[in-house]
Structure 1
């Protein structure tokens, strides 16, 4: 949760509990925040559940599941740092598909003896709406080119402006907030030097025109968002606002 805006934690918990989810822990695997709460919570859940014919087995083996690129591998590495003082045991990356198979079990704690299994990300077989799909794509759950970098950049700009999150204005040195993604990407491309000269045939001959690379600009816009350079963002703020108090 290192990139999310968590001002409304209580609303988030209430919304999740309304969907039948319990034992929510907000963690930050970059700063190892609240990571130490995970092992005791998991241990209590396991010990309070039925474990058929496992009375003699003292070790715990837990499977980590979630959507692609949500931070499953980062969680495992963070737990190892906190409880074993050891480094990375599984690869991480800012794109989906880094973990391609269920990995060998990885020890994350000595007392209790606990192992975790890293798994490939999974998505629901059906996405409830186009906007939900765009939110998931913005979080990097699918490859950008499958949706289109410029399409994602357009939705990101719409979301930032809708929630009055204008960090992109300062980051890219814009004159002010703008809802025209073409103008924003053109400015970003020129600022980053992502332009090229092309010849345009006119009635008086060929003319060299500077053309922005909109795809490269969109890629940088998405990268800045996913790196936290545009500030913390909660993509589901509209969901929380529509929830009953």
Structure 2
């Protein structure tokens, strides 16, 4: 447990250092599943807006903030978490594990009474051009690009490469591999067999077509990606 916490602290420190190099400050890490640190968001926003030279308190009795980010980063989840904590109300924005759940800028969603604050949920945004294949793969692994546009098998192969490179070998024990491997086909086969994922495959023979039972590689790739996105393969920093 202590080792895991140490790795998380190191990961956060690396992210903060990189963001500071980019000129970004006032960074707050949240977990909208556990509502961790979410209560700190509104006080931080209030302080930043109030200290802005363009802010006129006499003319503004409420705050209206737009939430912007790449697809599937958790914008709607953040809004719902804030409503749950500050207003004791349920979901106002749809959430899901696929990019593109929010398709338009929604009407103002109240998240706080004191101060009176509204948030605008927005569709995910990406740069017009992705600078490299590797950047595209990282975005795809995070769910910012729809899986079928890249291919689950290709993404799973890149994920395996990343896990091995960072010596994150939790997948070995989880799926009963015995040892780390850089062969995605053998890994997916083991994942499929471990989970009982099988399907019928038509094989052409000299005497006709024969249906055989084979490991379901696409299902195994999807499982590997889903497990990674849930954080169950370890704390992985792609950048």
Structure 1 length normalisation: TM-score?
0.88
RMSD: 2.1
Q: What's the counterpart of residue 230 of structure 2?
A: 227
CA distance, structure 2, for counterparts of residue 201 and residue 128 of structure 1: 43
Higher relative contact order (CA 8 A, sep 6+): 1
CA distance in 2, matches of 1:101, 1:162: 39
Deviations 1:14-61 (A, max 9, x none): 210111111111111111111121111111111122447773221000
Contact 1:107 1:114 in 2 (8 A): yes
1:181 partnered with 2:184: yes
Q: Is the 8 A contact 2:192 2:220 kept in 1?
A: yes
Gaps of 5+ in 2: 1-6
**SS, match of residue 58 in structure 2:** coil
In structure 1, the partner of 2:13 is: 10
Q: Gaps (5+ residues) in structure 1?
A: 237-245
| Residue in 2 that maps onto 1:49 | 52
Residue 114 (str. 1) matches residue 117 (str. 2): yes
**Is 2:32 the partner of 1:29?**
yes
User: Could you say what secondary structure the match of 2:43 adopts?
Assistant: helix
Say which is worse superposed, 221-230 or 21-30, in terms of deviation.
221-230
TM-score (norm. length: structure 2): 0.90
The answer to whether the 8 Å contact 2:11/2:237 transfers is: no
Change (3 A) 1:162 1:52: closer
CA distance in 1, matches of 2:232, 2:92: 28
Corresponding position of 1:243: none
Three-state SS of the structure 2 residue aligned to 1:61 is strand
1:73-97 deviations in Å (ceiling 9; x for gaps): 0111111122112221111111101
CA drift at 1:231: 2.5
3-state SS, counterpart of residue 68 of structure 1:
coil
